[in-house]
């Protein structure tokens, strides 16, 4: 059946949600050898998104329920037990992505709000994300969001408490943004900029060619990607 979402941890664990043959949906977690180590067969849940923790000790999945409209929630599972250890109501919004920050924090981005919660289901932070057009949740405890601003777009970074770490107004718009480790890389106009998580720029180049995507690296480098090639940027 169709696969709705998948997530790969840096240490090689893979989770995915798919349509089930005898149930509404399924959540699977595979180890580094691609062996199934945990599964949930959702007889009453429609799983639409998922994320796994490093080490494979926990996994979570977004599900949709019909309750005065479509309501999203996240079920958090420990892989040594069958039932969820926590459930978090995400409200009446579409969830774009999920990401574990370490082994116990989870970031969920929806069309209206970014939420950070722990594997106990406790909300740690919220941030208004209405109008988000681009994002990357893969930072070391922070996310980057592209939001509408006066006269253009705004690039902002948000931590686990829902606090804004940095903000840049970019009148020419943002073509792409990527975060890894403590670094943010973004394409705006004909310039690639690499910055810290507070968006303090420390390197930029206009030698971007026809690149339309950027990929940050944990060592501070980045890759500029066009339709036919990738260029490594070494600050």
pLDDT, residue 150, reads 80
pLDDT above 90 as % of the chain: 82
- Residue ranges in the chain modelled with pLDDT below 50: none
pLDDT, residue 69, reads 64
pLDDT, residue 225, reads 95
DSSP conformation class of 139: B
pTM above 0.75, yes or no: yes
**Number of other CB atoms surrounding residue 96 within 10 Å:** 16
pLDDT, residue 67, reads 65
- How far apart are the C-alpha atoms of 178 and 224, rounded to whole Å? 11
pLDDT, residue 30, reads 98
pLDDT, residue 46, reads 87
Q: Each residue of 168-206: pLDDT tens digit?
A: 998 888 999 999 999 999 999 889 999 999 999 999 999
Give 64's contacts (C-beta < 8 A, 6+ positions apart).
45, 46, 48, 70, 71, 72
In the chain, % helix, strand, coil (3-state, to 5) comes to 0, 60, 40
- How far apart are the C-alpha atoms of 173 and 187, rounded to whole Å? 9
- How far apart are the C-alpha atoms of 79 and 52, rounded to whole Å? 10
pLDDT, residue 201, reads 92
């Amino acid at each position: 059946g169709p696969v709705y979402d998948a997530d790969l941890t840096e240490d090689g664990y893979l989770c995915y949600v798919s349509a089930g043959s005898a149930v509404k949906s399924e959540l699977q977690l595979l180890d580094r050898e691609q062996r199934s180590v945990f599964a949930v067969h959702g007889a009453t849940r429609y799983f639409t998104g998922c994320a796994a923790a490093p080490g494979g000790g926990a996994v979570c999945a977004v599900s949709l329920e019909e309750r005065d409209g479509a309501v999203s929630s996240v079920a958090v599972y420990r892989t040594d037990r069958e039932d969820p250890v926590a459930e978090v109501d995400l409200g009446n919004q579409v969830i774009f992505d999920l990401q574990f920050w370490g082994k116990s924090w989870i970031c969920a981005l929806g069309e209206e709000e970014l939420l950070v919660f722990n594997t106990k289901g406790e909300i740690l932070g919220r941030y208004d994300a209405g109008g988000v057009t681009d994002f990357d949740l893969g930072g070391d405890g922070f996310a980057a969001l592209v939001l509408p601003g006066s006269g253009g777009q705004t690039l902002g970074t948000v931590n686990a408490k829902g606090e804004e770490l940095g903000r840049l107004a970019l009148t020419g718009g943002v073509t792409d943004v990527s975060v890894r480790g403590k670094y943010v890389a973004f394409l705006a106009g004909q310039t690639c900029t690499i910055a810290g998580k507070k968006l303090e720029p420390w390197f930029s180049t206009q030698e971007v060619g026809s690149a339309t995507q950027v990929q940050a690296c944990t060592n501070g480098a980045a890759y500029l990607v066009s339709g036919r090639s990738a260029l490594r940027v070494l600050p």
